[in-house]
Every structure is written in structure tokens, then in C-alpha cells.
Structure 1
């Protein structure tokens, strides 16, 4: 890869890592489901009016929208709202690799190799180390379970994305966002209620707008657009390992800007998760197997 493209890949990983801090800020202003609905609605409109036809079959656009945008991000936002630290959330989400390989074996009959199995076992052990903080360690069980569920939904979305094989990642994500926007709005209205949603919108201020613009313009549109550009230039294998920098930036930025304490179990678990994913999964990832929040 050219130095400027390496710099772009690192910049995208940094933007996605910092995004967990931005999400935490946004959740201080919006109910989690409403925040997620606003993210994908604004990411889709008006961009979808200029995007042309979806670069994949409609069934896969719908499948990814439901698995990724509706389920994965809703669970992530709900989990963080319930007390999952931003930095730790960026790390636990990397367990999506374990779910991706497991679901690929179950649904696509793909047999993982020994190296994959060994790497995934190490990554799973890392998540187990992080999980020791649940309860007595001050980590809410429900919040941890929600983010782990988000990782599982991400794994399912990865399978659907691999089957979709979109020719343009950014255009694909714009259509995924558009399809997800309606069920996300309805979900927020049903679960959080019109009164809570209206109150949040009426109380919107500068930091809330800034957080929303960041997750829409930087994390979603610019992030996916740049990532797709790198994938088209070099293929998935050289690019995907840069995504392992996301939890590094996530933990560091959460400690710096939110004052989150990094526990020893976080560090040990992080080394195991990132190391296991790097060894066992990075060589076989596909274009969207690794994207961040």
C-alpha cells in the first residue's frame, strides 16, 4: 500500500475508534433507539436520491439493513446507554469475528482451518477475561450482554454482506441506511415513545448536533466511503487488519476524553481478542467483515 493510503486506513480506524466516544456523548442527549434512527436516516437522505440503483440484490440490502443497522447498532447503543463503557464496547465488538466464522460454518458450510480455530479460541478467551468484570467488577450484565448481542448481529450481517458482494461499499451502505430508517423510527416510537423522542428533539443543542453530524458524516459516509475506496484499490486482505486499530483508538480516546479507567482485565482481554483475530481471521476477511461503529 502507498504511504498515503496507509495514512488513510489509520485515519479511518482512528475516526471509528473515537466514534465510540461520540456515541457516548450523543446518548447523553438522545434515547438510544432514536439516536440510531437519526444516524441512519440522515446518512440515507438526501444521499439516496443521488445514489442510483443499489449495487446488490434487494434481498441482501434488506438483510444487511435489518442485521447491521437495526439489530447490531440498536443493541450497541442500548448497551452503551445501559452502562457499557465506550472504550470497552469498541473492544467487545471485535468478538464479531468469532460469530462470523461460526455462522459461516453453520449457514454457508464453510469449514474453518486450524489457524482460524486457534485464533478464534484465543479471541473468545479474551472476551471471557473481559467478562470477569461483569457484576462485581462494576460492569452491568445487561449492558455487556447487549453489546455481545450486537457483535453476534454483526457476524450475521457479515455473512449477508459477503453474499451480497456489493460493487460499491458506500452506495450499498447508503441504501442499507435508507431501508433501515423506517423500522428504526418505528422501533423508537414503539419502545421509547413519542413523548421521549419529541422531548429529545426539542432539547437538541450544539453538542447533540455535533455528535449526530460526526456519526453521520465522519463515521458512516466518509468512513465507509474511504474504506470502500481502499478495498477497491488493494482488496480486503491488506486493508482489513487496520480495523484492529479501532479498539486501540477506542480505549485510548475513552480514557482521554471520558476519563474511563482501563482495567488490567481490559488490557489482557484486549491483547487476546486483537491477537486472536489477527492470527486467525484477518487473512480471510471480506470487504465489510471489519467496519466499526
Structure 2
């Protein structure tokens, strides 16, 4: 792989990892579901008028949009408002890999490979360590509600992955843009139900330029650039060459949260990260032919 392509892959992973800090900044100005609604609105418009629709059915687009929008990001934003630190969120969201494996076994009849069993057990041990020290041990950075919300967000992401698999080989950027409209109605309803109209009416006009920049970054930097470049790279190189770089997402996420926001990197966090990352590496090895 040319060095320029490697740098592009690392740039995407850097954007995805540090995005958890950007989410933290955005939630300081927008309620969670309002923030998510704005993100997917700007992931739709005006791009839907310029990017061709992927060759998949409307039902597939709707399923993916609802699972990714209302499920993954709606719950993630809700958790990150006050229930979990950005660094831990970036780590726990990687559990989607193992939820995806489980869903594929249950719903698609796939069989787990030998290495995937210890890989999953390692990741579960990492999550348990976060739960014990972060919640029961009073370690801060996460609450029981935050743990549940992020794990549910990861499960929703896994569901979206299964839907995307069923769609076959398609353009990921086009798929993201055309599925985004289906995320907007449920997120808007959740915003009305949980955030309330007064909070919506107050936050949108009063948001600063920095606040709106976080929304634009979610839509353009994280979604259009991230998925667009990632798809471009996957079209030119084997997945086994590109996907290992995604292991750096929680590394960038936890480092950025510590450096920019001052989140502490306690020994139990490093240990939990080592277990989850170790599980991800084993799963990656299991996926190789």
C-alpha cells in the first residue's frame, strides 16, 4: 500500500477517534437528541441531491438509518451528556465487533471461529473491569446508566452492520447519505419527548459558531470524509490491509480525551483497554484466511 494511502487511513481513524472529544464539545451546546437530529439532517442535505442512491431497497436504507441514527448515535450522545467520559466511550463502542459476531451467529447462521471465543471473553473481561472499577469501585468517568446506554448503542451499531452486510458490496458513502434521512424523524421525536420543545427552541438559535462547527464536523468530517475515504481505500486494497488501522480508534479517542479534556488514564482504564484491544486483535487474526 502506498504511504499516501496509509496516511489517508490513519487520517480517517484519527478523525473517528478524536470525534468523541468533538461530541463532548457539541453536547455542551445542544441537547443529545437535538445534536443527533442536526447531524443526520446535515448528513442528508444537500448531499442527497448530488450523490446517486445506492442499489438497495428503501427498507434496507430505513433499517440502517434508524439503527445507526436513533440507536447508535442517539444512545451514544445521551450517554456522553453526563454518564460516560469520551475516552471510555471510544473504547466501549468497540464492543460492537463482538455484538456483530453474536448477531451473525444468531440471525445469519454463521459459526464462530476458534480464536473468536477467547477474543470475545477478553473483551467481556475488559467491559467487566470498566463496570467494576468505574461504577462499583467509584472510579468515576462512567455510571451504570452510561455503561448500559453505550452497550446498547454498540448493539445497535452491530445491527446496522448486519443490515449493511445484507446489502452486499455497495458504495459506503452513498449508503450513509441515503440512509441518513430515515434517522431524522425518530431522532426528532426523541428530541421532543426527552429534550422538550423549549430546549430545542433555545439551543438552536443560541448555539455559538463553535457549537455549529461540531455539528458540521459530525456530518462532513466524520461521515462524508470518514466513510467516503474509507470506502475509497477498501475499493483499492484488501480489507485485511485497511481494517487493522481501525484498532487505533480507541487509542486516539482515549489519548485525545486525556490530552484535551484532562481525563485521567488510571491503571484500571489502561487494563480494560488492553483487554478490549487484545480481544479485537485476536478477532482480527481469526478473520484472516
TM over 0.5: yes
Q: Which residue of 1 aligns with 2:135?
A: 134
Q: Which runs of 5+ in 1 are unaligned?
A: 286-293
- Per the normalisation by structure 2, the TM-score is 0.95
Which aligned pairs between 1:240-255 and structure 2 lie closer than 5 A? 240-255=243-258
Tell me whether 66-75 or 231-240 shows the greater mean CA deviation. Answer: 231-240
- In structure 1, how many angstroms separate the alpha carbons of the residues matched to 2:214 and 2:110? 40
- In structure 2, how many angstroms separate the alpha carbons of the residues matched to 1:284 and 1:155? 17
- In structure 1, how many angstroms separate the alpha carbons of the residues matched to 2:145 and 2:57? 36
Q: Which runs of 5+ in 2 are unaligned?
A: none
- In structure 2, how many angstroms separate the alpha carbons of the residues matched to 1:258 and 1:235? 36
The answer on whether the counterparts of 1:71 and 1:153 sit within 8 Å (CA) in structure 2 is yes
Q: How many residues of Structure 1 are paired with residues of Structure 2 in the alignment?
A: 285
- In structure 2, how many angstroms separate the alpha carbons of the residues matched to 1:123 and 1:2? 32
- In structure 1, how many angstroms separate the alpha carbons of the residues matched to 2:158 and 2:182? 19
The answer on whether the counterparts of 2:244 and 2:284 sit within 8 Å (CA) in structure 1 is no
SS in 2 for 1:223: helix
SS in 1 for 2:54: coil
* 2:89 is the alignment partner of 1:86: no
- In structure 1, how many angstroms separate the alpha carbons of the residues matched to 2:19 and 2:198? 28
Q: Which residue of 1 aligns with 2:264?
A: 261
How much does 1:234 deviate? 1.2
Which aligned pairs between 1:108-257 and structure 2 lie closer than 5 A? 108-132=108-132, 133-135=134-136, 136-138=138-140, 139-257=142-260
- In structure 2, how many angstroms separate the alpha carbons of the residues matched to 1:185 and 1:54? 25
- Per the normalisation by structure 1, the TM-score is 0.94
The RMSD of aligned alpha carbons is 1.4
How much does 1:44 deviate? 0.7
The answer on whether the counterparts of 1:237 and 1:283 sit within 8 Å (CA) in structure 2 is no
How much does 1:2 deviate? 1.5
- In structure 2, how many angstroms separate the alpha carbons of the residues matched to 1:4 and 1:188? 41
How much does 1:282 deviate? 5.9
How much does 1:121 deviate? 1.2
Relative distance call for 1:102 and 1:149 in structure 2 (3 A) is same
Tell me whether 95-104 or 24-33 shows the greater mean CA deviation. Answer: 95-104
How much does 1:157 deviate? 1.1
How much does 1:187 deviate? 2.1
* 2:7 is the alignment partner of 1:4: no
- In structure 1, how many angstroms separate the alpha carbons of the residues matched to 2:55 and 2:201? 35
The answer on whether the counterparts of 1:55 and 1:168 sit within 8 Å (CA) in structure 2 is no
The answer on whether the counterparts of 2:54 and 2:170 sit within 8 Å (CA) in structure 1 is no
